[in-house]
């Protein structure tokens, strides 16, 4: 671990997901533990595309605390919890799709990588042979003088 790295503390299991707010069920703030901007921004992006959501924003209260707050306001009769659940399902489906596409391409990329490594090894071997030939020629010139 370098000097500039900071080891983040972990959130207790009982504080991994906390719903904050009173009043109408359409306005809530969700505190999600052991997460950061990656999840916060992805959820926010998906939620604002939902026509039932009036507002969605997220914040990370402090960089050294592994928690993200997601604020949601929805149009009645949809609750903030329903909107969050729909968005989580959508995000899960999108991630699953990307993963399946990646796994489908992985064998092709692996084969290409092996081919490139073999070609690189051949090129390096040829370069070493050329360098050896050049060195032998230089030694002959020095001996003649």
Say if 123 falls within a structural domain: no
Q: What is the CATH number of the domain that holds 70?
A: 3.30.1360.10
pLDDT at 48: 97
* Pair 93, 104: CB distance under 8 Å: no
The helix or strand, by DSSP H or E, that contains position 97, with its residue range, turns out to be: helix 80-144
**Three-state secondary-structure class, residue 67:** strand
Token readout for 135 is 């060195």
Q: What is the mean pLDDT of residues 104-122?
A: 92
pLDDT higher than threshold 70 for residue 130: yes
- Whether residue 81 is contained in a domain is answered as yes
User: If you average pLDDT over residues 129-138, what whole number do you get?
Assistant: 66
Considering the entire predicted model, what is its pTM?
Answer: 0.70
Q: What is the mean pLDDT of the chain?
A: 88
Would residue 25 count as lying in a domain? yes
pLDDT at 58 over 80: yes
Which of 3-17, 33-47, 60-74 is predicted least confidently? 3-17
Percent of the chain predicted with pLDDT > 70 = 84
The domain in which residue 81 lies consists of: 13-104
Say how far apart CA 142 and CA 9 lie, in whole Å.
Answer: 67
75 lies in some domain: yes
- 3 state DSSP class of 54: strand
């Amino acid at each position: 671990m370098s000097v500039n790295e900071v080891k983040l503390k972990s959130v207790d299991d009982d504080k991994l997901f906390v719903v904050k707010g009173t009043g109408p069920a359409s306005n809530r703030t969700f505190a999600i533990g052991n997460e950061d901007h990656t999840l916060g921004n992805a959820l926010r992006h998906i939620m604002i595309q939902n026509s039932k959501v009036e507002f969605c924003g997220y914040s990370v209260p402090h960089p050294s605390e592994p928690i993200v707050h997601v604020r949601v306001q929805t149009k009645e009769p949809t609750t903030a919890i329903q909107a969050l659940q729909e968005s989580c399902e959508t995000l899960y489906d999108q991630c699953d799709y990307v993963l399946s596409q990646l796994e489908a391409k992985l064998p092709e990329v692996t084969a290409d990588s092996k081919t490139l490594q073999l070609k690189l090894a051949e090129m390096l071997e040829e370069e070493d042979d050329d360098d050896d030939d050049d060195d032998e020629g230089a030694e002959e010139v020095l001996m003649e003088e």
